[in-house]
Chain A
Amino acid sequence: DIQMTQSPSSLSASVGDRVTITCRASQGIGNDLGWYQQKPGKAPKRLIYAASSLQSGVPSRFSGSGSGTEFTLTISSLQPEDFATYYCLQHNGYVRTFGQGTKVEI
């Protein structure tokens, strides 16, 4: 099965900071990767699909890049509403695997 290694597990940042989160796949997955944001007590919300396509309605400060085994989610200028936990999800082949999550805190 494909394993996803997400880093860091948590980070502290300030409003206006540029934030980068990485997911590495144990084998190539093309661009079969999405990024999700989850706030406490809420369902996850998709931000990015196909590694780099922005979900409709999601602010343009969010961007995704990468293909194959290394992927990045970037928040260009962190806003107060962006403090949350972020997950990557690979869906190459039959098995789907989430990264362990990155908690973005003040």
Chain B
Amino acid sequence: QVQLVESGGGLVKPGGSLRLSCAASGFRFSDYYMSWIRQAPGRGLEWVSYISGSGGTIYYADSVKGRFTISRDNPKNSLYLQMNSLRAEDTAVYYCARGGGAVDVWGKGTTVTVSS
């Protein structure tokens, strides 16, 4: 069955870096856009970034542009999010999701906490 499993979350100090990973299985990974979506504690959902199947099309929300980098490794069926210059407001659960717009499958999420 289709499955997405995130990893790499944790506690990091402001200004620090973290790399999230998402392992995909059960579908032809390279055929799909993939996305990162986050949810701050007690808040709504916010789209962070998406990437096309080939990696040639990428979008970032203004809130993370210049600090976060999305990438993928299709032979490894993996999606990544490199997060640099982290701020307190980046604290959230980060979800990996299949699709670049009409998202249909979500992972369980990984928690990122930015605090000194």
Contacts from A to B (Cβ < 8 Å): 32, 34, 36, 38, 42-46, 49-50, 55, 87, 89, 91, 94-101
Which are the 9 A-B pairs with shortest beta-carbon distances?
A91-B101, A43-B106, A96-B47, A98-B45, A101-B44, A49-B102, A46-B104, A100-B44, A94-B59
Nearest Cβ on chain A to B63's Cβ, whole angstroms: 12
B100 touches A91 (CB 8 A): yes
Nearest Cβ on chain A to B13's Cβ, whole angstroms: 26
A46 touches B45 (CB 8 A): no
Q: Is the interface of A mostly helix, strand, loop or mixed?
A: loop
On chain B, the residues within 8 Å of A96 by CB distance are: 35, 47, 50, 59, 100-101
Q: Complex: how many Å from CA A38 to CA B46?
A: 14
A43 touches B45 (CB 8 A): no
A50 touches B45 (CB 8 A): no
On chain A, the residues within 8 Å of B108 by CB distance are: 42-43
Nearest Cβ on chain B to A99's Cβ, whole angstroms: 8
Contact of B46 among A32, A36, A45, A98 (CB under 8 A): A98
Q: Complex: how many Å from CA A100 to CA B106?
A: 19
Q: Complex: how many Å from CA A62 to CA B8?
A: 35
Nearest opposing residue in chain B for A42, CB measure: B108
B102 touches A91 (CB 8 A): yes
On chain B, the residues within 8 Å of A91 by CB distance are: 100-102
For the A-B complex with A45-B106, A46-B103, A89-B45 known, give 16 more contacts whose Cβ atoms are closer than 8 Å. A36-B45, A42-B108, A43-B107, A43-B108, A49-B102, A49-B104, A55-B104, A87-B45, A91-B100, A91-B101, A95-B59, A96-B101, A97-B47, A98-B44, A98-B47, A99-B44
Nearest opposing residue in chain B for A50, CB measure: B102
Most-contacted residue by chain B among A55, A87, A89, A100 (CB, 10 A): A89
A44 touches B44 (CB 8 A): no
